[in-house]
Structure 1
Amino acid sequence: MKRTALITGASSGIGKACAFVLAKEGYRLILCARRTERLQELEETIKNEHPGTDVYTFTLDVRDAAAVQDAISALPEAWKNIDVLINNAGLSQGLDPIQAGKLSDWDTMIDTNVKGLLYVSRAVIPLLEKSSNAHIINIGSIAGKEVYPNGNVYCASKHAVDALNKAMRIDLLEKGIRVSAINPGMVETEFSEVRFHGDTERAKAVYKGVDALTGQDIAEVIAFVLSRRAHININDLLIMPTAQATGTIVNRK
């Protein structure tokens, strides 16, 4: 039987890369994100590049608790046999000192990175409990391991993900559901463009002179974690570019 993976935030970045890597590995894919058109394009491309791959997509904003529950409840019966949940949806907004932070940025980060992860997990776990090989992958960050200047609320949200990952592993132990955290350092995706509210020049400067990680790099690590035998759980991985030592110490060339 093919395993079925549900990926949030699948329309770009790490989530999109996971979709392609897991399609190559033979998974059935449930892909959700806010951008419907991008999801449709992704489904079409995956099916063209990996014929025979089963893909089911739906539009979802993980910040909406009712919408999350409705979407999971409305899955066709053939798609309710979920084995893997990849909690990838997440973002950063702003890079301001805490005394100048925008409340709207704070709300967006906490609602997406923390509450959204909780909403999706709460809705999907009852389906995972029916799997004989269930696994939750939570995408954290170097920001969940340390705090850097002006990172304040984003770092706090990813520290929360770190704590929730540990708590999930405890609470789901008796269910046999594996729980793993993947914590990337610098990954060149739309992350910085979103953080800087569409300022592409400022976003490009973040990665200038650095051979940063790619979504593909992280997706391949996730595929490895998922491929371990059922008695093995990789609890927590911190993955950095060779050129990065900490959240803020980077060797630029």
Structure 2
Amino acid sequence: MTRQKILITGASSGLGAGMARAFAAKGRDLALCARRTERLDELKAELQERHPGINVAVATLDVNDHDHVPKVFKELSDELGGIDRVIVNAGVGKGAPLGSGKLWANKATIETNLVAALVQIETALEMFKESGGGHLVLVSSVLGHKGVPGVKAAYAASKAGVTSLGESLRAEYSAGPIKVTVLEPGYIESEMTAKSASTMLMADTETGVRAMVSVIERESPRAAVPWWPWAPLVQLLRILPPRLTKPFA
């Protein structure tokens, strides 16, 4: 099924902007939201110049403003005449080692990546039920498979929660009319991974986005992306003793 009207949160940069460019090239209409309005406006101008046949709607959204999420989703849906795919992509990668005294950093990660994702999920489901169906995409992480030490501990926990929500939804809507995809990116070049220590496992942005969009278009239930090296590494992560997971953190 071709999803023509796609909403992406966290679309002003990184993988969100990359997916927007890829879907625009396929001729899809886009609803893009993020905190940084100027970047959204620049992206909209770029996409409409390159692909004049598409419609692009943008809106400022801080996903941690929970009351604002349904309002923005509705405004964007009204502007495009409906939404048939929502990509829950907004997230942060900051954090601190547990017990380091930086509760605020880990709390912000959990709130943005998991609690705000839940708000987006509930909003998208309500929209899809009203319209008769749709495709919900949750951007999780390969780190959702295993706890890791250091600064990524809260991040891994938040993504494990996102993956769990996605699995629950797949069971809930196994017969439709809502399709659910859980994306588990490995390390892909973006603003979020710019300071990552795992550079030897880093995929370039183009390769990563292409893999993500391919999985989304197939509406696959769940996938680690890019497949190489991350699908095999996920299997390894699952069986590694916790003390050996540090290279993935």
Q: TM-score, normalised by structure 1?
A: 0.83
Structure-2 residue corresponding to 1:239: 225
Contact between 1:4 and 1:28, CA under 8 Å: does it hold in 2?
A: yes
> RMSD between aligned alpha carbons?
2.4
Q: Give the alignment of 1:35-54 within 5 angstroms.
A: 35-54=36-55
**Cα offset for 1:16?**
0.5
Partner Cα separation in structure 2 for residue 219 and residue 83 of structure 1? 20
Q: Give the alignment of 1:142-161 within 5 angstroms.
A: 142-150=142-150, 151-161=152-162
Structure-2 residue corresponding to 1:110: 110
* CA shift digits 1:202-245 (9 cap, x unpaired): x2x6255x3622333333223323433xxxx5211112585674
Contact between 2:133 and 2:176, CA under 8 Å: does it hold in 1?
A: no
* CA shift digits 1:91-125 (9 cap, x unpaired): 121342x1115121122111110111111121122
CA 1:129–1:12 in structure 2 vs 1: closer, same or farther (change >3 Å)?
A: same
Partner Cα separation in structure 2 for residue 213 and residue 54 of structure 1? 30
Partner Cα separation in structure 2 for residue 207 and residue 142 of structure 1? 13
AA paired with 1:42? L
Q: Give the alignment of 1:1-253 within 5 angstroms.
A: 3-75=4-76, 77-96=78-97, 98-131=98-131, 134-150=134-150, 151-193=152-194, 203=195, 206=197, 208=199, 210=200, 212-228=202-218, 233-240=219-226, 242=228, 245=233, 248-249=246-247
Contact between 1:138 and 1:181, CA under 8 Å: does it hold in 2?
A: yes
Specify every segment of 5 or more residues in structure 1 that has no aligned partner in the other structure, as ranges. Answer: 194-202
Contact between 2:10 and 2:16, CA under 8 Å: does it hold in 1?
A: yes
Partner Cα separation in structure 1 for residue 17 and residue 149 of structure 2? 29
Q: TM-score, normalised by structure 2?
A: 0.84
**Cα offset for 1:129?**
2.8
Partner Cα separation in structure 1 for residue 147 and residue 226 of structure 2? 16
CA 1:214–1:226 in structure 2 vs 1: closer, same or farther (change >3 Å)?
A: same
Specify every segment of 5 or more residues in structure 2 that has no aligned partner in the other structure, as ranges. Answer: 238-244
Q: Which protein is richer in helix relative to its size?
A: 2
